Amino acid sequence: MRYWLIWVSILIAGCDNDGVADDSMWQICDTYQDICDNTHSGALCTLPRSEVIRDLARQREQLSSINTYVALRTLDAYRSCLEDAFVSEAVRNKSDKQSQMTTIRKIPELQKELIASTRSISRPEVNLWLWTNSQNQDNWESMVNGFETAKEVHVDVYVALMTHYAKNNQEQGLKYARQALEKAAVIKDIQPSVYEFYVGYYLQKNDLEKAAIWQGLYSALDENKAQVNAHYFKLHEKMTPSQIRRAQNKVNDLLFDAKWLNKDMGSFPKSLQ
């Protein structure tokens, strides 16, 4: 009996530590009624609203710069959805319109509260969000200073640094591009700007084949069949038809597996990184 009670106590303690951010909406709203009360309950924007509720609950349970950044971003997306819905003819109900407008006006207040909650911690991601919205150099410098000491960093910080250095210091940009690749769990997690960086990087290095391969793989994100832009490389970079065919064949070999985008990053050629 004593061991059974100990086991139950451990189980209960474990449940308490898990929180409710990953539970059902009604469980989250039962625990954090204020979070749900601060969001519009109309029929439109239900998915962004659910993401906001979940991310706000997670941020409250596990205060971190990354969780706060994610919540700030989902609030941005939610606000955009509500603003689009507000001007849409699809929403005619006056009470829904009023609820939407109330939430739209409240979102900046919620974001200020989130930012204030991180004042005592290192917050590179929060400073990235602040810089993105203000272009204030102080926020950029705070992000740089913060990310160097942070134990874990959101991929967006590396992408921002990669983009920043891409024009004037390609090798420094490459350092952050590689760190962004390391943050990707599967190939589809590679951000579009990382593809663009590598195309530009290899063009500058005059390694046209690698540039063409990166461009061909990039096109696979939006097309059923990835194609190297032969016209571009022939016209502007003077690749021969045989060189373009070789690059296209390598792209085709990589994409032979229809599940390419869902493969882990171990399948991505190290020679391209």
The pLDDT tens digits of the residues spanning 192-224 come to 999 999 999 999 999 999 999 999 898 888 755
pTM: 0.85
Amino acid 120: pLDDT: 93
Residue 93 pLDDT? 65
Helix (H, G, I), strand (E, B) or coil at 4: helix
Asked if residues 248 and 235 have their Cβ atoms less than 8 Å apart, the reply is: no
- CA distance to 52, 81, 98, 209, 236, per residue, from 91 (Å): 21, 13, 11, 52, 49
Could you read off the pLDDT of 231-260 as tens digits, one per residue?
677 656 678 888 889 999 999 999 887 788
Q: Which of 201, 221, 222, 226 is nearest to 211 (CA)?
A: 201
pLDDT of 165? 95
Widest CA span in the chain? 80
In the chain, pLDDT over 90 holds for what percent of residues? 61
What pLDDT score was predicted for residue 234? 66
Place of tokens 């032979």: 256
Task: List, run by run, the mean pLDDT of 10-residue segments along the chain (273 residues).
Answer: 41 51 89 91 84 96 97 96 77 71 92 96 96 96 91 96 94 97 94 94 92 90 65 70 90 86 92 94
CA-CA-CA-CA torsion sign (246, 248, 250, 256): negative
Q: Are 44 and 80 in contact (CB under 8 A)?
A: no
Give the closest residue to 174 by CA, choosing from 150, 207, 149, 145: 207
Cα 6 to chain centroid distance, Å, stands at 42
The pLDDT value recorded for residue 98 is 80
Cα separation, 44 vs 246, in Å, equals 49
Q: Which pair of structure tokens corresponds to residue 225?
A: 């069949």
